[in-house]
Structure 1
Amino acid sequence: MERRVVITGMGIWSCLGTDKEAVTESLRMGKSGIGIEKERIAYGYQSALTGIVKRPVLKGILSRRERMGMAEEGEYAYMASAEAFRQAGIDDEFLQQNEVGVIFGNDSSARPVIEAANIMATEHDTQMLGSGYIFQSMNSTVNMNLSAIFHLRGVNFSVSSACASGSHSIGLGYLLIKQGLQNRVLCGGAQEVNYYSMATFDALGAFSMRMDEPEKASRPFDRDRDGLIPSGGAAALMLEEYESAVKRGAPILAEVCGYGFSSNGGGISQPSDDGSVVAMTRAMEMAGVAADDVDYVNAHATSTQQGDMFEAIALDRLFRGRHALISSTKSMTGHECWMAGASEVVYSVLMMQNNFVAPNINFCNPDEYSEHLNLATRTTPCDLRTVLSNSFGFGGTNSALVVRKVQQNF
């Protein structure tokens, strides 16, 4: 009999708030976390829009040695993971005595690479770099730091699949537990927010230029959208085998019951409605649910012309005439990039626990592709039992997850 996989703890550090309670309230109020960072213009950006994410203060919480090798996204991931462990009832003694794995989605770290290169350009001496930059700049920086700090001894690797990374991390953790290879895996996504990390995106002309109204700049599915807004932070979810969670009296927040994936096989930045449909269908089939069973779809929609268009086509193919409400929380957060697939599952579970669907804010005018979608444009009271969360990324990588309220028996 296949094992069930449940979420026993969650943590979030984002532009909507730095704990679950604050984030829940922001979601309920449809509050945007997007603002202006003027330094971006001075640095050479076209757009100064960004998610405003508070930097955690870890001095006094972690030792100097632990902080030295931790990049910005690792700091966010530590805070989110600590919150997830607390909710799951997992302390240091438990971690010392039980095997817990860790899989995080994250990008490479731009800041330490650029800072190290600047030092070398000035000093021409590698001994001036110290020992911290190597651990901050490796693509596995989040996993290696979390594993060392929390004494994690299970599976340990990073997922770097563009903006589907956080979702794939949950999907992979789910499969490992479902197949009996692990009992508990900390999964999540993390993304640095500093301007060093986003210049190449700005070069593509991918960012909104609506700088006079930052909170209205992210407009998923709206006809007048003009680009995404970069954002970041971290989200963490404690995935656990159901019987194990029940045995130790852990809180059971929701059940992960389906993971779907696909690749578009086309241009490196070309979205695909077919690829999106395959990922969503595969997730629903694994979960044993049909489109009629889905109550809410957390769309990937980032507020770009092509991306939103192809996802709208895919959603229309699967959900036209169905009751599922659809919204993109990126209308409030901006695009949290490598973190987004994990944070949006956290956002969806918070909605599920509090019986509402957060609005797709700034949706004023539909286009020919979004006009048939059942979009929630205001906070909507709703008994959410089954949620589908989409994440799509550069390179044509697609991921979809089905999460539902826990059922004691199938």
Structure 2
Amino acid sequence: MQKRVVITGIGIWGCLGKDTKEVTESLRAGRSGIGLDEERLTYGYQSALTGIVERPKLKGLLDRRLRTGMAEEGEYAFMASREAFAMAGITEDDLLKNEVGCIFGNDSSLTPVIEAAAIMNEKHDSQLLGSGYIFQSMNSTVTMNLSTIFHLRGINFTVSAACASGSHSIGLGFMMIRQGLQDMVLCGGAQEVNLYSMATFDALGAFSKRMDDPQRASRPFDRDRDGLIPSGGAAALVLEDYDHALARGANILCEVTGYGFSSNGGGISQPSDDGSVLAMQRAMTDAAISPADIDYINAHATSTPQGDMFEGKALGRLFGGERAWISSTKGMTGHECWMAGASEVVYSVLMMQNDFIAPNINFENPDPHFDPLHLATETIETEVRTVLSNSFGFGGTNSALVIRK
């Protein structure tokens, strides 16, 4: 018999705020976290637009030995995980006495690689690099640091699936617990936002050039959308076996009931409405629900001409004429990339907990492609019981999750 899987804690650190309280206020107000980093233009970027994410001050929270091996996204992940464990009522003693897993989706860490290469090019002596760079630069930097800091002794690995990574991490944690392999898994996504991290992405011409009005630049589903805006931070969720949560008297936020996935099998950067539909259908089948049962869909829509169009087609095929409200929170956050699949589940949980649907901001000029969609273009005060969250990424990877109140 399959176990039920619940969420007992969430944490967030990003451009909308440094904790769930600040982020809830931003979501409800439709407040953008996007700004300009002029240094990017000097460096050679085509666009200076980015999510503005404050670096946490870890001195006093972590000793120097633990901080040495942490890359930027690891710092964000630590702050988000710290909040998630606190919300779940998990103490350090609990972590020492119980086996807790850790699965995160995160991008590569460019700063330590570039800094180490600069030292080698100038000094030609690897002994000058110290011990921190290796742990900062490995793709598993987030999970190895979190497992060390929080003494996590369960499943421990990193998901690298482009912009669906955070969503897949939750799906995999969900499967581990449902099959009885773990009682509790810390899941999430993390993304660096430094100067170096997005230059190759900028080379594709995928970023918005609407630099005269940063907070209106990300325009999911709008006819005049001209590209995404990079962003980042970290989101963390404590997934737990339902009976385990009940036994320890945990406050249950919601239940994860479905996970669906697919791969497009086409061009490396080519979206597919067929692949998107399959992932959503699998998630709803897994949750034993139909499109009519969905209250809200947190769309992947990144504000790119092609990506939004293909997701819109997929949503129209499944939800045209249905009651589900649809919005992309990326109008406020920009595209949080490897973090996005996890952060958007956190945003959806916050909407559930506070009875509102966050708006798809900057939707000013309708696109005929999206006529069948029930877009929430302003904040809607309503009970939210069942959510579908979509995440798609380069290489054709698709992930969809269903959570229920």
Q: TM-score range by the shorter chain?
A: over 0.9
Tell me how far 1:180 sits from its aligned partner: 0.4
- For residues 138-157 of structure 1, the aligned pairs below 5 Å read 138-157=138-157
For 1:298, the aligned partner's letter is N
Aligned to 2:48: 48
Aligned to 1:158: 158
Aligned to 2:243: 243
Aligned to 2:26: 26
Aligned to 1:282: 282
- For residues 259-408 of structure 1, the aligned pairs below 5 Å read 259-405=259-405
For 2:334, the aligned partner's letter is G
Aligned to 1:408: none
For 2:349, the aligned partner's letter is V
**Counterparts of 1:371 and 1:300, CA distance in 2:** 18
Aligned to 2:123: 123
**Counterparts of 1:171 and 1:28, CA distance in 2:** 27
Residues 48-95 of structure 1: CA deviation (Å, up to 9, x unaligned): 000000100001110111000000000000000000000001011000
- For residues 211-230 of structure 1, the aligned pairs below 5 Å read 211-230=211-230
> What TM-score results when the alignment is normalised by the length of structure 1?
0.98
**Counterparts of 2:87 and 2:353, CA distance in 1:** 14
- How many percent of aligned residue pairs carry the same amino acid? 75
Residues 315-348 of structure 1: CA deviation (Å, up to 9, x unaligned): 0000011000000000000000000000000000
**Counterparts of 1:368 and 1:114, CA distance in 2:** 45
For 1:240, the aligned partner's letter is E
For 1:31, the aligned partner's letter is R
**Counterparts of 2:159 and 2:369, CA distance in 1:** 32
For 1:401, the aligned partner's letter is L
1:254 to 2:254 alignment: yes
**Counterparts of 2:214 and 2:222, CA distance in 1:** 16
**Counterparts of 2:195 and 2:208, CA distance in 1:** 15
Aligned to 2:210: 210
**Counterparts of 2:44 and 2:114, CA distance in 1:** 15
Tell me how far 1:128 sits from its aligned partner: 1.1
More deviation, 114-123/137-146: 114-123
Aligned to 2:63: 63
Q: How many residues align?
A: 405
Residues 268-323 of structure 1: CA deviation (Å, up to 9, x unaligned): 00000000000000000000010000000000000001100000000000001100
> What TM-score results when the alignment is normalised by the length of structure 2?
1.00
**Counterparts of 2:119 and 2:328, CA distance in 1:** 41
**Counterparts of 1:370 and 1:289, CA distance in 2:** 24
Match of 1:395, SS state, is: coil
RMSD of aligned Cα (Å): 0.5
More deviation, 11-20/360-369: 360-369
Aligned to 1:80: 80
Tell me how far 1:368 sits from its aligned partner: 2.0
Match of 2:234, SS state, is: strand
**Counterparts of 1:372 and 1:182, CA distance in 2:** 41
Residues 339-398 of structure 1: CA deviation (Å, up to 9, x unaligned): 000000000010011111000000011212112210000000111110000000000000
For 1:147, the aligned partner's letter is S
More deviation, 235-244/123-132: 123-132
**Counterparts of 1:365 and 1:4, CA distance in 2:** 43
For 1:69, the aligned partner's letter is G
For 2:272, the aligned partner's letter is S
Residues 190-244 of structure 1: CA deviation (Å, up to 9, x unaligned): 0000010000010000100000000000000101000000000000000000010
**Counterparts of 1:330 and 1:195, CA distance in 2:** 20
Match of 2:370, SS state, is: coil
**Counterparts of 2:134 and 2:2, CA distance in 1:** 41
Match of 1:402, SS state, is: strand
**Counterparts of 2:113 and 2:366, CA distance in 1:** 42
Tell me how far 1:121 sits from its aligned partner: 1.0
**Counterparts of 1:56 and 1:289, CA distance in 2:** 41
**Counterparts of 2:342 and 2:108, CA distance in 1:** 17
Tell me how far 1:187 sits from its aligned partner: 0.2
More deviation, 35-44/387-396: 35-44
Match of 1:86, SS state, is: helix
**Counterparts of 1:302 and 1:289, CA distance in 2:** 27
**Counterparts of 1:302 and 1:110, CA distance in 2:** 23
